[in-house]
């Protein structure tokens, strides 16, 4: 009887130990599976994976299309036909947003400038006269872009730029044969179209630093679609510019 009782106790102890081992094994297995389930798959690189913000500066060589405004209001160009280019800087901020893997749109706010210059030297009197004409606008460029690549991304886009006129300034300089020099600044907001529309085209490259930042370099062409002047002005004036934008892009 004692022998049977003793064997029963040994059997229960052995069963209980085996059950604990099995239960502990299940718990370890469950913990391992839960830990494995938390391991994330490596994130694939998308061409345009998120909305981005950008800050750009644009250097452009600007000039203009200039012509008499028809028979009724038009006037001779005179010395204005000899105006040449003027180099100007513009600045913008905005966002890029994906449409599909290879297409994105961008838009923003910009402070835009264009102009032209004139210079004359009289060889007989040694006198000189020159001026630089500046037009300033508040713009809202919007573009559609096609993009290819991953870490180095090439893109091309076209769009429109509504522009609100902010001001006209002309800096004038002169000198005489008696070594007298002078200058003056003329500013105005009257006589100019308060709203103009420009087309824009660009190609560019974005370099991904893989830390959320990108470097952007983009050659750009802008052409004004309507005149800077009012309908009754003597001339039709449309800005033309080509240049390059430099900037930083940041993932949101």
Q: DSSP letter string over 15-63?
A: HHHHHHHHHHHHHHHHHHHHHHHHSPPPPPPPSS-S-EEEEEEEEEEEE
Give yes or no for residue 4 having a pLDDT over 70. Answer: no
236, 164, 231: which is closest to 195 by C-alpha?
A: 164
Confidence bin at 26 (pLDDT 50/70/90): low
Which has more confidence, 38 or 179? 179
Range name among 99-108, 174-183, 197-206 with the lowest pLDDT average: 174-183
Q: Read off the tokens for 30.
A: 């469950």
Give, as one character, the DSSP assignment of residue 221.
E
pLDDT confidence of residue 179:
81
Q: DSSP letter string over 168-212?
A: EEEEEEEE-TTS-EEEEEEEE-TTB-SEEEEEEEEEEEEEE-SSS
Q: What is the mean pLDDT of residues 61-77?
A: 93
Confidence bin at 177 (pLDDT 50/70/90): confident
As a whole number of angstroms, the distance between CA 199 and CA 85 comes to 19
Give yes or no for residue 15 having a pLDDT over 80. Answer: no
Confidence bin at 44 (pLDDT 50/70/90): very low
As a whole number of angstroms, the distance between CA 9 and CA 19 comes to 15
């Amino acid at each position: 009887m004692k022998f049977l009782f003793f064997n029963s106790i040994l059997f229960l102890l052995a069963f209980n130990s085996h059950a604990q081992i099995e239960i502990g094994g299940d718990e370890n297995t469950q913990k391992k599976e839960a830990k494995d389930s938390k391991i994330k798959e490596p994130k694939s690189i998308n061409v345009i994976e998120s909305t981005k913000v950008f800050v750009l500066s644009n250097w452009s060589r600007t000039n203009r299309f200039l012509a008499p405004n028809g028979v009724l209001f038009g006037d001779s160009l005179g010395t204005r036909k000899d105006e040449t280019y003027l180099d100007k800087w513009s600045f913008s901020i905005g966002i890029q947003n994906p449409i599909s893997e290879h297409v994105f749109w961008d838009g923003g706010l910009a402070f835009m400038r264009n102009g032209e210059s004139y210079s004359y030297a009289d060889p007989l009197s040694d006198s000189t006269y020159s001026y630089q004409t500046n037009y300033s606008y508040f713009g809202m460029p919007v573009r559609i872009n096609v993009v290819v690549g991953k870490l180095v991304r090439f893109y091309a886009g076209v769009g429109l730029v509504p522009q609100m006129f902010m001001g006209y300034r002309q800096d004038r300089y002169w000198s005489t044969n008696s070594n007298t020099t002078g200058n003056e600044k003329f500013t105005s907001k009257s006589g100019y179209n308060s709203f103009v529309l420009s087309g824009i085209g660009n190609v560019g490259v974005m370099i991904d630093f893989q830390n959320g930042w990108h470097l952007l370099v983009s050659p750009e062409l802008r052409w004004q679609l309507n005149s800077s002047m009012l309908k009754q002005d003597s001339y039709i004036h449309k800005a033309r510019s080509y240049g390059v934008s430099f900037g930083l892009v940041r993932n949101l």
